[in-house]
Structure 1
């Protein structure tokens, strides 16, 4: 096995475990030109070449697309000693961490000849057999937070199948299948065939499922989910978006694109799979992952698809943190700069209820922005004990951010928000409940920069603990309370 040193691939955002991409890498070549005449010796167009570009395809393209946001991506793929493999290595350097299987043969090269952005002919050349995985591959699987299998039927998924079966039992696996490829391992979180692949791969039934209707696509997705023992299958439908079917349910979800996208669709499936896999490693549900993937794939096609040369510009240093209205520190600085009042409040907000909403609305009316300081999941576990939080951090952030009275959310990992407050430096710290302004634990910190701690009216009898108790009682008695 050839194991090249791991190459720097940007920052590991938020301390996340890496996304592992496994599959067959190709070299894609595009020869673009104009065809204004036919050859004198045959009725074939003559292409006057204007551009000749090459870039990684297959799993290599999926890995590069997944790494665009700066996350750590590890690619397990088979590369050889040929010129096409070297071209792929150079293109991926600085983008992904590369863990190689040896390749007995040459890397497949897919060449498209296009005139006026329309394909005239495609030429496929080369191919080989992946070698056995070694320790570097095993370590990559052990460290993965999620796995994307980009199976192009060239044997890489088969070579590491034992590792795939093991990782699927503990981490999200997204499988992008191919009619000539391996059957997905059991327990895949999401499989993403396109319409043609689903039609070719769906098990035979009586009566057979035919046609191009949404119902036909949904039925094929449901049968594939059951056949593969996958949690969900999303059949991608090009300009119609994707239809998602959960295993064991008869309620498919259609996700249309946010806008029509015209352009080169080459690589759109890899983009869809890469975005959905990245969403899964971030903790998203399959429904959320498919929504993100449909939107990003539409934008990818509109920008020129895999042929967009900007995708392969030399990678620069990781971009600085984005400064936008929802960044709490940038927001606080901007409000202070124009003489406004920065208000902050804090808590777990585990199950958002009427008491929380009343407090947040009251706090927002005090000043010009409201920033919520939110306990992290680990912080809540230390404070509340096992079984809490009931709602994970990402979901709590999303719910709070959706309230019109909340301008930004900042998460703190400690037991108390004093460290965060000293960086945020709000003018007002607002809390509800049984505190007085001077007995609030954060009051002393506020005085350091002239801030003021205040208490606000709070609806009695509303609490996450009480909601959880009532829900548990309803489950055990079968009654609603």
Structure 2
């Protein structure tokens, strides 16, 4: 699929992508994306990460500092180079544009990128450049020290060579991913050359419909606003600097960022902004009004680095291959969740991502198992939200509604109608997908904590057993219309009716599939 189509409205939230996203988080999706093999240029600050570990048994004589006897030395591409490694591991055809030195670190970095099959004809070496290196020294699983080595200035000749190279590199790419860590490699000449190559003037006026998908991952996205990027991905600290404010911890950060969505879109010049909030997942704001949350599945503190690189790589791959924006975001969150469980600077491969998503199969809990889990959460003061439905063919109305439900409390439980129950409700031709498949896809959504399947005419018996703090329902309902309302009110729970998305209907999607029709944007 061309990048123009991927970045256009037809692949956006609610567009034609709804037909392709019914299995958006199934284990087979990473393999299908890898088969697309989009061509992606990564331009930016390539680095070499070192992970040295050893034992500590004494203090040095010169100062009260521990002596680390190094037992292992490992090196991995870092920064923009790690992003490129992730893209290659996920099946993209990757080119890297950047500047390194002719030093040992540069030679090591070049060898590792070449071994991954990455095109390096736009990676320039200069004798007066120092390859940026970050060495972490650890003992007993704890990082004790990080040593950074980088150039104080980037040679003008190297900048000129990279700028010239960028003009040629952009052609025939499905996506261009800018990784700007602020070292000076992407200074004015290079940024201007990229703008010229993308046919976007520095004033932000003028572009062509078939330009590559443009993603900016920068410490400061504002200098890149003239490119009018399709996506920018600031983290919490970068967002705070953009907004000139302090972000509170926890969910307060989401509320603060959401209140400044217009300022973020305006200052970055982007069609969509994805703010990454580490343990709190991500939040998306698009110029068309779309919002979307993901929730991270964090690991215990480990020696992990580069989850943000994995996230932006998976997001760029999915969008350049034509996956809808919200589904791309959930996929990228899943890839980041894989990496945070791995030590060092690591990547998420197609096989790893597929296994991670496939692990959600057969994850539906019985009602008795669910009671035990919910009781543990309630003991920690967490609010339980429950919703139910068939969720036969997943579409953007579902994901929007489930995102809203999650934000009503701390733990979201989704109860699925059994296959027999769906047939009773929808007719003999349904469900399209059996209960195990529906449960696996719903469980893979980052906003969902638990899935269960019920076979009763209504969810009332399950509600009485679980006693959620909030029972959420999406659709054209009032609480009085719901059979479950009495069960909720018996124990003092609350019924919340979420947004009704009239133009999103599973029945309509199924009918379009059976008719062989292609959805129009917004249909």
2:124 aligns with 101
Equivalent of residue 256 in structure 2, options 197, 204, 216: 216
Is 1:200 aligned to residue 246 of structure 2?
Answer: no
Please, which runs of 5 or more residues in structure 2 have no aligned partner? 1-31, 201-206, 359-425, 434-510
Secondary structure of 1:156's match? coil
In 2 relative to 1, CA 242–46 (structure 1 residues): closer, same or farther, beyond 3 Å? same
Q: Does 1:234 align with 2:274?
A: yes
Aligned to 1:145: 174
Q: What do the CA deviations read for 1:162-206 (whole angstroms, capped 9, x no partner)?
A: 34324374221111111499444432111111111111233x4xx
SS of corresponding position for 1:160: helix
Task: Report the TM-score when normalising by structure 1.
Answer: 0.58
Task: Report the CA distance between 1:112 and its aligned residue.
Answer: 1.2
Cα distance in 1, alignment partners of residues 141 and 432 from structure 2 = 56
- Which of residues 160, 178, 199 is equivalent to 2:190? 160
Q: Distance in 2 between matches of 1:45 and 1:253?
A: 46
Asked whether the equivalents of residues 175 and 184 of structure 1 are also in contact (C-alpha less than 8 Å), the reply is no
State which drifts further: 98-107 or 237-246. Answer: 98-107
Q: 1:117 aligns with which of 133, 136, 141?
A: 141
CA 1:240 to 1:105, structure 2 compared with 1: closer, same or farther past 3 Å?
same
Q: What is the alpha-carbon distance in structure 2 between the residues aligned to residue 94 and residue 181 of structure 1? A: 35
Q: CA deviation at 1:258?
A: 4.6
Q: For residue 216 of structure 1, report the CA deviation from its aligned partner.
A: 1.4
State the alpha-carbon separation in 1 of the partners of residues 257 and 67 from structure 2.
40
Give the aligned partner of residue 284 of structure 1. Answer: 323
Kindly indicate whether residue 106 of structure 2 is the aligned counterpart of residue 85 of structure 1.
Answer: yes
Q: Structure 1 residues 35 and 252, CA, compared in 2 at 3 Å: closer, same or farther?
A: farther
2:77 to 56, 63, 72: 56
> What's the TM-score, normalizing by structure 2?
0.54
| CA deviation map 1:199-218 (0-9, x unaligned) | 1233x4xxx56433121133
> 1:63 Cα deviation (Å)?
0.2
Change (3 A) 1:284 1:466: closer
- 8 Å CA contact 1:271, 1:293 repeated in 2: yes
Ranked by relative contact order (alpha carbons within 8 Å, sequence separation 6 or more), the top structure is 2
State the 1:305 CA deviation. Answer: 4.3
Report the alpha carbon displacement of residue 85 of structure 1 after superposing the two structures with TM. Answer: 0.9
Measure, in 2, the Cα distance between the counterparts of 1:238 and 1:149: 20
Cα drift, residue 288 of structure 1: 2.1
Aligned position for 2:308? 269
State the match for 2:392 in structure 1.
Answer: none
CA contact (8 A) 1:272 1:297 kept: yes
Rg larger in structure: 1
Query: Contact 1:147 / 1:171 at 8 angstroms: preserved in 2?
Result: yes
Distance 1:260 1:106, change over 3 A: closer
CA deviation profile, 1:446-473 (whole Å, cap 9, x unmatched): xxxxxxxxxxxxxxxx8899999xx99x
Partner Cα distance (1:210, 1:363) in 2? 44
By how many angstroms is 1:294 displaced? 1.1
- Secondary structure in structure 2 of the residue aligned to 1:302: coil
* Cα pair 1:17 1:145 within 8 Å, conserved: yes
SS at match of 1:101: strand
Structure 2 SS opposite 1:33 = strand
Cα distance 1:217–1:36, how it changes in 2: closer, same or farther (>3 A)? farther
Answer yes or no: is the 8 Å Cα contact 1:31–1:111 preserved in 2. Answer: yes
Is the counterpart of residue 176 in structure 1 residue 217 in structure 2? yes
Contact kept, 8 Å, 2:304 with 2:342, in 1: the verdict is no
Structure 1 residues 12 and 268: alpha-carbon distance in aligned structure 2, compared to 1, 3 A threshold: closer
How far off its partner does 1:26 sit? 1.1
Q: Quickly say closer, same or farther: Cα 1:363–1:80, change in 2 above 3 A.
A: closer
Deviation at 1:256, TM superposition (A): 0.2
Question: 1:1-12 alignment to 2 at 5 Å?
Answer: none
By how many angstroms is 1:221 displaced? 5.1
Closer, same or farther in 2 for the Cα pair 1:145/1:211, shift >3 Å? Answer: same
Is contact 1:38–1:46 with CA below 8 Å preserved after alignment? yes
Helix, strand or coil for the counterpart of 1:142?
Answer: coil
Residue 188, structure 1, aligned to residue 188, structure 2: no
Q: 1:116 to 1:226 in 2, by over 3 A?
A: same
Equivalent residue, structure 2, for 1:71: 92
Deviation for aligned residue 1:293: 1.2
Cα deviations by residue, 1:261-313 (Å, 9 ceiling, x for unpaired): 6433311111111111111111123322221111111110102241x5xx59x
Where in structure 2 are the equivalents of 1:207-356 lying within 5 Å?
Answer: 208=245, 210-212=247-249, 213=252, 214-220=254-260, 222-247=262-287, 249=289, 252-258=291-297, 260=299, 262-306=301-345, 308=346
The whole-number CA distance in structure 1 between the counterparts of 2:84 and 2:255 is 32
The correspondence for 1:131, drawn from 139, 159, 179, is 159
Q: CA deviation at 1:235?
A: 1.3
Q: Deviations over 1:2-44 (max 9, x none)?
A: xxxxxxxxx9954654011111111111111222432233221
Contact preservation (8 Å) 2:233, 2:274: yes
Structure 1 portions without partners, runs of 5+: 1-10, 327-356, 365-461, 476-481
CA RMSD of aligned residues (A): 4.0
- Looking at structure 2, the residues matched to 185 and 70 of structure 1 have their Cα atoms a distance apart, in angstroms, of 30
